[in-house]
Chain A
Amino acid sequence: MEDRIKIFKIILLIIFAVLILRSFQLQVIKGDYFYKLSEGNRTSFRPISAPRGKIIDRDGEILVSNKLSHDLYLLPNEISPEIEIETLIENIANLTSLKYENLLENYEFSKDNINNRNGLILKRNIDKENMVILLENSEELPGVLVRESSVRDYVYSETASHIIGYVGEISKKELEKYSTQGISSYHVQDMIGKSGLEKEYESYLKGVNGIRQIEVNNLGEKVKELGSKAPVPGNDLILNIELDFQRKTEKILNRHIERLIKEAEDDPERYPPTGGSAVVMNPNNGKVLAMASYPDFDLSTFTSGLSEKDYQGLTANPLKPMLDRNTMAAVPPGSLFKLVTGTAGIKFLNINAETEFEDENGLFYVPQWSRPFRNWHPGGEGVLDFTKAIARSNNIIFYKLGYRLYEKYRGEKLVQTALNYGLGSKTNIDLPEEKAGEVPVAPINENKGVWNPGDSVNLSIGQGGLLTTPLQLVNYISAIANKGTLYRPYLVDKIVNADGEIVYHQQPKVLKELDYNEELFNILHEGMEEVTMSSYGTARSTFRDFPISVAGKTGTAQSGTTDVSHGWFGGFAPSEEPQIAVLIFIENGSSSSYALPIGGDIIKEYFNVEKDSKVENGEENTAEGENTDTVVDNNSSDLEKLDKYISEVFSSN
């Protein structure tokens, strides 16, 4: 037995000797060879770009995917010094339909930025004909190469363009930003999300590039492939949005605004709107169901690399098509704000639905100030109870509330209520850019200026330095609809990887639980139902004989910069058990009455109700002006003067 153990021992020693010899052979004898392979003297690492993640609606309809494209490359180190690069580019331009100036511009732009051996891109996404021409003439075009890559493929390139955003070549700044963050996976000429979800979720969408390791000879020619690492495709975003509803919302918004623009052309008294937006949200969780902004832009113009001219065209357009009004327009909300004033009144002044107010003559005087604040409806509306005051959007009564709040609390409670509803702060929607707007905070922060009674009065109807975004307002309407919870609005529900596994699932996030009792919200709901469904409500023209119960509020706001007002409608439906909150904004739209039919059509579309002709006719009636709640007379410049004067008067006291 001992003998056999010894034999076993010898066998083992021999085998270990073989292992040692083998490692000697690999590391010492052939060590330099392997070292060069590994160090890249004789290996070249060629990136394999990972397909970018798709963007998909909640039912699995694809909004954005990728398609094969061909990029035209120039490899300067393969071009012999005798050949002028300009001549080469000229040859390309002569053979193909590509423009010489354009190619030269791209070459001049990238030649200084690029020091890798992969070559520089002369033109992205060239068409098939040009590609064939270039391949056929490749012998006359040394160092010119066509490589496969992929570009964004938009099923509808003008749908949800603000939400989706565009991708573009990484800028020097972005490269530096990533490298200071320790992220080294980006290279010159990489494509990167530049706006919208493409930017917000860049890290998820990007994927991980693969690498191909190639053994090359001293001329850089491929000898053999040593191995490759397959790219990991980017993760797919699954939105809360439903594609079909999004498209219909956009269509409705575009159709109405284009109609208003056309009508204004024919009518010298009217101003053409300069933009608009519509957003639909689930008030019970903050899911954004549709979000449209007018005018929109075509995402596909970005896929072949935007030329300087295209970019100029987009940015110089006075209507600012790249601007997402929902998140980036910070404008006064006008009478939509009255629900904030109402909330403060109920909470701090013991107002209830039956409390009566009187509008004697359509004028309100701030004590010690001789010029009156006016209602949009001249001559006085008599005695109104509180909910009717909401329904009529009566300025006088809300001035009175604002002033009574001022008497008791200075501006503090009104401003605090506005902040509670999330006005003046970002909603933190999952988009890269969002304006915070502004609530004048002088009464709670003395460093921010002096607060005067006129400021409270002005603020009570949503004017006077107050700036909000449509998204903040839909969130505020939602919080009223669900009776007290302010949710964070969000677009992306889930993120799934290429294997379909969920890597991220966004749960509804509560921004704030509002400390108001149910009774308070019941009063607001009652008032908002009177706005839409009573015989005297400011939104009755669209919603009185509406197939669905809608609660809402109109608003017409001084824009502060021009004489034209913004038109607003915010509401929720069905009013008893809200499933959606809607907010319509018409930039310089003159009147809330123009926003109403847009809201109406979108709500009908959501609940899939047949259009009925009555409401169509109603659209025509709205322009009469009786239900517009414009602050007649007090145009913005006057208001500013007033503010200034009041502040002088009070500071001298």
Chain B
Amino acid sequence: MQLNKKLFKNINIYIPITMILLIIIGMFAISSAVEINRVDSNGSIYLKKQIIAAILGIIAAIFIQFFDYRIFKEYYQLIFGSMVIILFMTHLYGSNIGGGRRWIDIGFINFQPSEVSKIVLVLVLATILDRKDELDSLKDMILPFVYFLIPFVLIILENDLGTALVLLVILIAMLYVAGFNKKFLYGFFGGGFLTVITLISSHIFFNTPLPFLKEYQLNRLIAFINPNIDPQGIGYNIIQSKIAIGSGRLTGKGLFEGTQNQLNFLPEKHTDFIFSVLGEEFGFIGVLIVITLFIILFWQLFNIALEAKDRYGKLVVTGIIAMFFFHVVENIGMTMGLMPITGIPLPFISYGGTSLVTSITAIGIVLNINIRKKKLHF
């Protein structure tokens, strides 16, 4: 457990900087969303919790630097096994907050195991896909698919469709970058997509049973396709979020000045719809800054993926990019009516302890790969 100081010569400083900027912007938005400026608000507790989570995440990210990232490769079965057990435990004993058993109470904090499972899947898939260069046949697909399917099903059972979709995107991106035969990939996932469409349409038109998808999740899909179908009900969130963002115009209404936000027209505004608060109060300029920060972050993450010294490192970074990518696109997209609503947070910005710790840790893993990109010369 030694850390050579020379390793830090390689560090990509843009990544921690953009990350911290995003976290700070998030804290402003959270403060506004929980109405911290109001006398009778107990909003400061949210801010405190978020700050603690950020500090915990940064400690975890620094701690990771002491190990070579390939250690995850050696213990992947242990990591995967623990994750499956914890997900099972959550399913059996977890606490029920907002429609699904997603939380596990470990004495002093509640945490959401499904958040952690995303990184575990990245590490495990990278290990498996690291072994082969040529991936052409159905046989090569089986093992990664099994490792994907176990957490996927467990998380679907928790009613957490959003996170399950993140896992799917991670799988597709990693299989693709690992070099799977394109035709095969298109066939497999294209076929899967068509199956889902067929199932849903037949449910709507012929009322056939629909596995895995709850009624409210289907409603979100319908609302996405036509939000005005039921503005009080299922289309409400989308319409209100669009009004919030649009009404921010070029420069925004100013911090704490968003009427959609402060009048509580926005749903889940400190977590899933935090971007709407940003859009309303900071306008197009604010949105542009946040998206640009994300682009810089992704750009640097791609650089690290390209520079990583081994295939395993490249795959891990790819998986993490895919994870963040889906979170950011899905979350921002849904607030602007481009994507259906699923309850997944905007990394670094949404309120949520587990999500923030996990995201910072993921960056820690990337930096670990980054600082060890070339052989050291003594």
B325 A12 Cβ-Cβ under 8 A:
yes
Q: Which of B244, B280, B283, B338 contacts A19 (CB 8 A)?
A: B338
Residues in chain B near residue A13, CB distance under 8 A: 295
CB of B222 to closest CB in A, whole Å:
16
B247 A28 Cβ-Cβ under 8 A:
no
B177 A1 Cβ-Cβ under 8 A:
yes
The answer to whether B142 has its CB under 8 Å from any CB of chain A is no
A39 B284 Cβ-Cβ under 8 A:
no
Given the complex of chains A and B, what is the CA–CA distance between A5 and B302 in angstroms?
Answer: 7
Question: Could you mark each residue 140-183 of chain A with 1 if its beta carbon is under 8 Å from any beta carbon of chain B, else 0?
Answer: 00000000000000000000000000000000000000000010
**Interface of B (DSSP majority class):** helix
The 9 A-B pairs of least Cβ separation, nearest first, read A34-B246, A31-B249, A38-B247, A27-B284, A26-B246, A35-B247, A34-B247, A23-B287, A9-B302
Residues in chain B near residue A32, CB distance under 8 A: 249
The answer to whether A306 has its CB under 8 Å from any CB of chain B is no
Across the interface, name the chain A residue whose C-beta is closest to B240: A227
CB of A5 to closest CB in B, whole Å:
5
Residues in chain B near residue A23, CB distance under 8 A: 245, 279, 284, 287-288, 291, 336
The answer to whether A311 has its CB under 8 Å from any CB of chain B is no
B176 A8 Cβ-Cβ under 8 A:
yes
CB of A91 to closest CB in B, whole Å:
36
Q: How many residues of B contact A (CB 8 A)?
A: 52
The answer to whether A33 has its CB under 8 Å from any CB of chain B is yes
Residues in chain B near residue A16, CB distance under 8 A: 291, 294-295, 298, 329
Residues in chain B near residue A228, CB distance under 8 A: 232, 236
Given the complex of chains A and B, what is the CA–CA distance between A225 and B230 in angstroms?
Answer: 9
Q: How many residues of A contact B (CB 8 A)?
A: 38
Question: Could you mark each residue 275-311 of chain B with 1 if its beta carbon is under 8 Å from any beta carbon of chain A, else 0?
Answer: 0000110011001100100110011001001100001
The answer to whether A20 has its CB under 8 Å from any CB of chain B is yes
Residue contacts A-B, CB under 8 angstroms, 10 given: A4-B176, A5-B318, A9-B298, A12-B302, A12-B321, A16-B295, A23-B288, A26-B245, A38-B247, A225-B231
Given the complex of chains A and B, what is the CA–CA distance between A228 and B318 in angstroms?
Answer: 43
Given the complex of chains A and B, what is the CA–CA distance between A318 and B154 in angstroms?
Answer: 75
B264 A229 Cβ-Cβ under 8 A:
yes
The answer to whether B343 has its CB under 8 Å from any CB of chain A is no
A27 B250 Cβ-Cβ under 8 A:
yes
**Interface of A (DSSP majority class):** helix
Residues in chain A near residue B287, CB distance under 8 A: 20, 23, 27
The answer to whether A111 has its CB under 8 Å from any CB of chain B is no
Given the complex of chains A and B, what is the CA–CA distance between A6 and B314 in angstroms?
Answer: 12
CB of B24 to closest CB in A, whole Å:
21
Q: Which of B248, B288, B291, B302 contacts A31 (CB 8 A)?
A: B248
CB of A19 to closest CB in B, whole Å:
5
Across the interface, name the chain B residue whose C-beta is closest to A11: B325
Known contacts: A19-B291, A38-B259. The answer to whether A26 contacts B336 by CB under 8 A is yes
B246 A1 Cβ-Cβ under 8 A:
no
Given the complex of chains A and B, what is the CA–CA distance between A30 and B302 in angstroms?
Answer: 34
Residues in chain B near residue A610, CB distance under 8 A: none
Within 8 A of A (CB), among B101-155: none
CB of A28 to closest CB in B, whole Å:
5
Given the complex of chains A and B, what is the CA–CA distance between A121 and B23 in angstroms?
Answer: 51
Residues in chain A near residue B279, CB distance under 8 A: 23, 26-27
A31 B177 Cβ-Cβ under 8 A:
no
The answer to whether A565 has its CB under 8 Å from any CB of chain B is no
Among A19, A24, A182, chain B packs the most CB atoms within 10 A around the CB of A19
Given the complex of chains A and B, what is the CA–CA distance between A602 and B236 in angstroms?
Answer: 57
Across the interface, name the chain A residue whose C-beta is closest to B245: A26
The answer to whether A15 has its CB under 8 Å from any CB of chain B is yes
Residues in chain A near residue B322, CB distance under 8 A: 8
CB of A222 to closest CB in B, whole Å:
12
Q: Which of A19, A24, A39 contacts B329 (CB 8 A)?
A: A19
B288 A8 Cβ-Cβ under 8 A:
no
